[in-house]
A and B are shown apart, each in its own frame.
Chain A
Amino acid sequence: MNDDVQRFLDRLTERNATRGPEPTWIAARRQAGAARFEALGFPHRRIENWKYTDVRDIARHDFALAGDADFSPAAAAALTLPLDGHRLTFVDGVFAPALSDLGDLPDGVQLMPLSQALEDNHEAVGGPLGRLTGVEFSPFAALNTAFMEEGAVVRLAPRTVVEKPIVLQFLSRAGEQAVMSHPRILIEAGGRSQATVVEHHVGEEGAANFTNLVEEIILERGAILTHYKLQEAPIQDRHVASIQVEQARDSRYTSFNLNLGGGLVRNDLVSDLNGQGAETTFQGLFYGQGRQHVDNHTLVNHNAPHTTSRENYKGILDDRAHGVFNGKVIVKRDSQKIEAEQSNANLLLSDRAEIDTKPELEIYADDVKCAHGATTGQLDEEAIYALRTRGIDAQTARGLLTLAFAGEVMERVDLDAVAERVELTVAGKLPERFNLAGLVETATALNEE
């Protein structure tokens, strides 16, 4: 076993020594996670799935575990998305009750920190925890399982419709000792329930921590879940997320995977379409500057006939940023009447930026309509010229066109707070007057007259 793996396991031993007694099933899963991580070690670039992403920046570091959740409320407020929702906040992985809002939970909604669910040995965790994103998912998921102690548990009773978004906020602090956190999110949406979950990763400038997130999302028959993941972590943060979604018949899952921050970012998003009529939609946007490295791996398993998947990822890369997109669609034998669409478009704004993209299809059934496309290019110089002949300066024209490039994903974002945050980062230098949200509303009203 190499030193890197040992260092992480030593931290685990340290942590375990401080834990009180816990139910045997938790201890057993923790142990299985540690054993699997020990066996696999950190992934390296000779493994196809990690061909373009080097995780040594994580493996070679010594990360401590945070001991408290202190965060100035003013600083937190500045980072928080202006959303009226039910909110759980975590600081370096530690639950921060002071920054959370669990009041007014509607009937049929259970929302609690994982630590509480584990402490209560709650029925919400005993079965599902680790069933989807198990220790086999990846070395990082195994590592998370070994450390799991905090995160969010969301449980919706059948037919529950949650009006306000459920906001899961993860704050990263700057400090002398870099820390790691292994949050888990467990969402179980009962039959025909509906909700929007906004996951927001953000932090203090200068933070250089490691977040190793695992999510398990279960959609029962007819459930509808919209899942925003807005990742705008500080530029030196490391962020690894392993997300597994399981969809029953007629359920609809929509993911907005919006990555603007983080130094080293890796997202694995997997959706299993297990029942007829299930639909999954992956919308993604990644924007890299400086030396950011953003890797998105997605996988849709069409395990049942009459299932649909749509995917659209847009990448914008500036400076020396490196983007990776690997989208895979698998249609199992006998999964007939499948529609799968996948597209990835990338914009390189600098000579030293790089994109590696691989849209894959693996198809074992014949009655399918599958298409994918990937393009990489630049802003259209002719369009820039056309805008300039209307009096718009070159920089603004570039901003507008960059925003337009992201538009295909962004126009589907229904939460203004999220859309504005993204537009601000992407369009960046666009002057105030081009923030035309109000205008568009007026125009829409005009249409409806």
Chain B
Amino acid sequence: MASQEMEQLVRREYKEGFVTDIESDTVPPGLDETTIAFISHKKGEPEWMLEWRLKAYHQWLKMTPPSWAHLDYPPIDYQAISYYSAPKRPEDRPQSLDEVDPKLLETYEKLGIPLHERAALAGVAVDAVFDSVSVTTTFKDKLHEAGVIFCSISEAIRDYPELVKQYLGSVVPQGDNYFAALNSAVFTDGSFVFVPEGVTCPMELSTYFRINAANTGQFERTLIVCESRAQVSYLEGCTAPQRDENQLHAAVVELVALEDASIKYSTVQNWYPGDENGKGGIYNFVTKRGDCRGDRSHISWTQVETGSAITWKYPSCLLRGKDSIGEFYSVAVTNGRQQADTGTKMIHIGEGTRSTIVSKGISAGRSDQSYRGLVKVGPRAKGARNYTQCDSLLIGDTCGAHTFPYQEIGNSTATVEHEATTSKIGEDQLFYCQSRGIAEEDAVNMIVNGFCKDVFQELPMEFAVEAEALLNVTLEGAVG
């Protein structure tokens, strides 16, 4: 394909890049104990929560940002960020969707996120987080009947303090890493899911995150707990407006699966990636970790990462329970000047634990992408097994694709396999499709989608289509 055409195709528009013009209540930039107290107060949190935040803050002050990732970005000025922004509205939370600012609803409509229950995707309950606050959660009553708690984390702290106290920070402690510590200090909202013993959540749960206000960081915190034999499937989606400044997103997600419990966590991340010269875009520093605490528990991460200027993200599994299972399926697409350093950690602690890693990376434009993974088998993990498949596809000669897989095996009964390939999009495949009359752009999409198939089929059905479409938009013909 002519490089001109390719250029054209690579320079795609960020479709979610609109700004919603609503009045918001934003604290001035800066971070100190007062900011944290303000956030805690705004959220009407109990004293213990504020203490928990301050403890994290003090740990954070002593830490330095990690430098080991294959990423290049200027130091972040944490005092230039605003740590709280909320759409202005009556003091009390809206009791129903009718009370929600219509502009806000419009925003979600534009994003294709149906907040109105009548328009909701069949069987999907949605929580939407706009800047720092949860706007609304749908299908609450129906979930309540089943015994499932699905609400914003702020509500959970107020309404279910004992549950939050028990589990918050139990998978990702406050001082786990630089960004987790920051999040623990200033997190503003996020989702809380609790599925009690023996309950299979009757519908898909979903949260959409959107950063709207300028100079605002988003620090959401999500906690999902499945008691024994409980099951849930959860999906998060993320978007942000097109702005010239870089915005920081530092989230923490904790999953706890007790005996025989199963959690499936899917992400479609489409934060604003910046323009083709690398101006603007979201800095996405995320700590996601699942704890397979009980025997035979199962945690599965699926991610489709197409957005963000910088991605630093390693959804992981602690396989502690006997015969527990961890999975990681990932498609990451980078284009323009995007940089992504992403992968997973599978920590095999218990006997008979199994993990599967399938990672598909597609680099185009002048982007740089790394897979970074750790498979660790401890001395007690008898018979542990891991299979890792890690493939990179390069589109164009100015991008980079890197693989850094760590294996630390301390048990002779473990079987660990890692396979990786890096290649450019197959010219013969393209030619074959074209010779069958398929336009090059469609051929590229077909091939890339085929390349990602193993991961897409792990997504909940409603979102697999969305993910494919997103991929096509991101790559729009980026071939040469």
Contacts and interface: CB of A to CB of B under 8 A. Distances in A.
Query: Do A and B belong to a common assembly?
Result: yes
Interface of A: 48, 52, 333-334, 336, 346, 348-378
B72 to A, nearest CB: 13
A363 B392 contact: yes
A360 B404 contact: yes
Interface in B403-436: 403-424
A367 B397 contact: yes
Q: Most chain-B Cβ atoms within 10 A of its Cβ — which of A362, A365, A366?
A: A366
B407 A377 contact: no
A358 B404 contact: yes
Contacts of A375: 415-418
Nearest to A349: B412
B420 A361 contact: yes
Contacts of A360: 402-405
Contact of B416 (A52, A353, A366, A377): A377
B168 interface: no
B406 A356 contact: yes
A356 B417 CA distance: 13
A376 B413 contact: no
Nearest to A336: B397
Contacts of A354: 408-410
A147 to B, nearest CB: 33
A192 to B, nearest CB: 32
B401 to A, nearest CB: 5
Contact of B394 (A334, A350, A363): A363
Interface in B47-87: 68, 70
B405 A359 contact: yes
Nearest to A346: B409
Nearest to A370: B422
B396 interface: yes
B398 interface: yes
Contact of B405 (A353, A358, A369, A377): A358
Interface in B378-406: 379, 392, 394-406
Contact of B407 (A350, A362, A368, A374): A374
B186 to A, nearest CB: 29
Nearest to B412: A348
A152 B248 CA distance: 57
B451 to A, nearest CB: 15
22 contacts: A52-B408, A336-B397, A351-B379, A351-B412, A351-B413, A355-B408, A359-B403, A360-B402, A361-B401, A361-B402, A363-B402, A363-B422, A368-B424, A369-B423, A370-B423, A371-B421, A374-B417, A374-B418, A375-B417, A376-B409, A376-B416, A377-B414
Nearest to B364: A366
Nearest to B422: A370
A355 B396 contact: no
Given A357-B407, A363-B392, 19 more contacts: A52-B408, A346-B409, A355-B407, A357-B409, A358-B404, A358-B407, A359-B403, A360-B402, A360-B403, A361-B392, A361-B401, A361-B420, A361-B422, A363-B402, A365-B397, A372-B418, A373-B420, A375-B415, A376-B407
Contact of A362 (B68, B402, B410, B418): B402
**Overall SS of chain A's interface:** strand
Given A360-B403, A361-B401, A366-B399, A373 B419 contact: yes
Contacts of B419: 371-373
A358 B401 CA distance: 16
A407 to B, nearest CB: 19
B414 A376 contact: yes
Ranked nearest first, the 4 interchain pairs of A and B with the lowest CB-CB distance are A348-B412, A366-B394, A370-B422, A366-B424
Most B CB contacts (10 A, CB to CB) among A48, A359, A363 go to A363
Contacts of A361: 392, 401-403, 420, 422
Nearest to A359: B405
Given A348-B412, A358-B405, A370 B397 contact: no
A349 B420 CA distance: 26
B409 A348 contact: yes
For A334, A359, A367, which residue has the most chain B Cβ atoms within 10 angstroms? A359
A346 B411 CA distance: 12
Contacts of B400: 362-364
B412 A48 contact: no
B422 A368 contact: yes
A367 B393 CA distance: 10
B423 to A, nearest CB: 5
B66 to A, nearest CB: 12
A177 B396 CA distance: 60
A371 B408 CA distance: 20
Interface in B284-325: none
Contacts of A376: 407, 409, 414-417
Given A360-B403, A361-B403, A353 B422 contact: no
B424 A356 contact: no
Nearest to B369: A363
Contacts of A334: 397
A368 B394 contact: yes
A372 B396 CA distance: 22
B422 A374 contact: no
Nearest to B373: A358
Contacts of B413: 351, 378
Contacts of B379: 351-352
Nearest to B427: A367
A355 to B, nearest CB: 5
Contacts of B397: 333-334, 336, 365-367
Contact of B420 (A48, A348, A351, A359): A359
Contacts of A372: 403, 418-420
Contacts of A356: 406-409
